[in-house]
Amino acid sequence: MFISSFYCSYLRTIQVIKHTLLLTALLVLPALATGQTMDALQVAKKLQSTYENATSLVADFKQTTAMKLTSRVRQGTGTMLFRKPGRMRWDYITPDYQVLTSDGETISMYFEKNNQMIVSNAKDYLQSDVTYSFFAGTGDILRDFEISEPDFTDNLENSFLIKFIPKSSHPHVSSIHAWITRDTFLITHLQIVDHFETVTDLFFDNIQIDSDTYGSRAIKEDLFYFIPPANTEIIEQ
């Protein structure tokens, strides 16, 4: 089915988002005693352990995407919700209202500005993608990624910084860096680099694990279905 270049570009960004879900689902880790140090592998093991025990995650996010050959930077802000198994919701508030939802079987992407919604099969994606399958509860961060120290230094007085590289070649992810606070062990920043050196930064705030609410709404199954306005064009893939 024909999809405009606008949607092709946006879908590429959505793919990057999906490939970060395993990490954004792990935003809280058990605190360590003051002064204790951890190497990258130890931090990754804590991420894996915490993810296995978490059932849901809610957070505010800010996203920036910069392409190597252009000075243009795309930005977006909103809220996100993940819930096992395989359920998610991203509400983009700026620059335009957009909603991405998955109930574990179907992924839908609604674009208010263009009055369209794209719907595709989530199961096919879950079966083929290592990072999304991890978020859905079938993956393993230590199995699917090489864990290493970061490529660069940063202001790490209050954070750990570690690097993830997919063990199997991935079409949309070359590497991921994660910033993790030392006191509360929250991932506050993810940086994803693809094979074209496009850099997507995701910053997280107001993180809640195992919350019962998403904004003013109780977390129930209807949150993972989006019903667009009656005159919305539906594009099925």
At residue 99's C-alpha, the angle toward residues 97 and 102, to 5°, is 175
Threshold 0.75, pTM exceeds: yes
pLDDT of residue 133: 56
pLDDT of residue 2: 31
Q: Which residues in the chain land under pLDDT 50?
A: 1-10, 13, 18, 21-36, 136
pLDDT of residue 28: 40
Burial of 5 (0-12, 13-18, 19+ CB in 10 A): exposed
Q: Which residues face 179 on adjacent strands?
A: 161, 189
pLDDT of residue 201: 92
For the chain, domains (ranges, CATH) are 5-236 (2.50.20.10)
